[in-house]
Amino acid sequence: MKLHTDKPGANYIRSFEPGLILLGERRIETDLLIGPGDHVAEWQPADRVAISQEDLAPLVERDPELILVGMGLSQRFLSSSVLTSIMRRGIGVEVMSTEAACRTWNILVGEDRKVAAALLLR
State what percent of residues in the chain have pLDDT above 70: 92
Q: 30-119: which CATH topology? A: Hypothetical Protein Mth938; Chain: A, (3.40.1230)
Distance CA 91, CA 12 (A): 22
pLDDT digits (tens, 9 = 90+) for 66-79: 999 999 998 889 99
**Strand order through the sheet with 13-17:** 13-17, 20-23, 26-28
Tell me the pTM: 0.92
* Angle value at C-alpha 20, between 101 and 8, nearest 5 degrees: 65
Give the count of beta carbons closer than 10 Å to the beta carbon of residue 48.
15
CB 116 within 8 A of CB 67: yes
pLDDT digits (tens, 9 = 90+) for 44-67: 999 998 999 999 999 999 999 999
CB 110 within 8 A of CB 83: no
Q: How confident is the model at residue 100 (pLDDT cuts 50, 70, 90)?
A: very high
Q: Where are the domains of the chain?
A: 30-119
